[in-house]
Amino acid sequence: MRNPKIVILSDLHLGTYGSHAAELVSYLSEVNPEILILNGDIIDIWQFKKKYFPPEHFKVLQCILNKILSGTCVYYLTGNHDDMLRRFGNISLGNFHLREKLTLMLNNKKYWIFHGDVFDSSIKHARWIAKLGGKAYDHLIRLNRLVNSIRSRFDLPPVSISKRIKSNVKEAVKFIGDFEETALDLAIKNGYDYVICGHIHTPTIRTHYDGQHAITYMNSGDWVENLTSLEFENDEWTLYDHLSQQHRIVPLNKSLELEKATAI
């Protein structure tokens, strides 16, 4: 078992057909972090009405609960698909903490961690459109699995329809680019050195130089398409790909200190 200091997961979308819960259980069984940050869209409350919550999805929650009981500090940061939890405000029960955002001081660098749906105007101003898009996305994932099941019979490699759409539709590419730039701009204005989001299902680590200092944007990806997480171990940030078991590493210095979390 690996023992990273911090693991960040987002967009698990438990309760939907697209969630890779079995693979997530496997991953959670491989890591024993000091701090586990669940950065939004963990339980997909938007899709929960269809009463789809198989045993594998419960096993994910059980794994998280077991980590809490064994001493892991778990921060659940709410996203748009589990925004119903935001009405409860900030709650702490032992090692479990419910928040909207988290600030983190790590190696004398200031981090801003939140889901990222605050940048999405479709959620702010047309919630029903966002919910409709979520349902369409879930159906697309089901279609994708059927296509890959057929391809496997002919010894063809799997494909991701949604990834191809994101890669080839100009508006989708522009949205991802605008999202990242907005996160970086706001982080710079508020004096952060790192900003960490989820929401757009695009795992990324990239550093921007504003002329005075460097600021790094990181996105933990998702467990619908990419099956990725962010890990901090041995003074390095790693973007971990569970399917290929490969890492992308960003060197840091030493020391670890959590600040008190406050609401956005």
Taking only the tens place, the pLDDT of each residue in 37-86 is 999 999 988 776 667 889 999 999 999 999 999 999 999 999 988 888 98
Q: Which residues of 114-130 are buried (b: 16+ CB within 10 A; e: fewer)?
A: bbbbbbbebbeeeeeeb
Q: What Cα–Cα distance (Å) separates residue 143 from each residue in 124, 139, 160, 189, 243?
A: 29, 6, 10, 42, 20
Third-level CATH fold of 6-258:
Purple Acid Phosphatase; chain A, domain 2 (3.60.21)
- The string of pLDDT tens digits covering residues 189-238 is 899 999 999 998 889 998 888 777 789 999 999 999 899 999 999 888 98
Task: Write down the pLDDT at residue 253.
Answer: 46
CA 198 – CA 75 distance, rounded (Å): 14
Q: How many CA atoms lie within 13 A of 193 on its CB side?
A: 10
Beta bridge partners, 38, equal 9, 76
- The string of pLDDT tens digits covering residues 135-169 is 556 666 667 777 777 877 888 887 776 666 555 54
Does this model's pTM top 0.85? Answer: no
Residue listed under structure tokens 């045993």:
55
Residue 129 has pLDDT above 70, yes or no: no
- The string of pLDDT tens digits covering residues 94-128 is 999 999 999 999 989 999 999 998 876 543 444 43
Domain ranges for the chain? 6-258
Task: Write down the pLDDT at residue 135.
Answer: 57
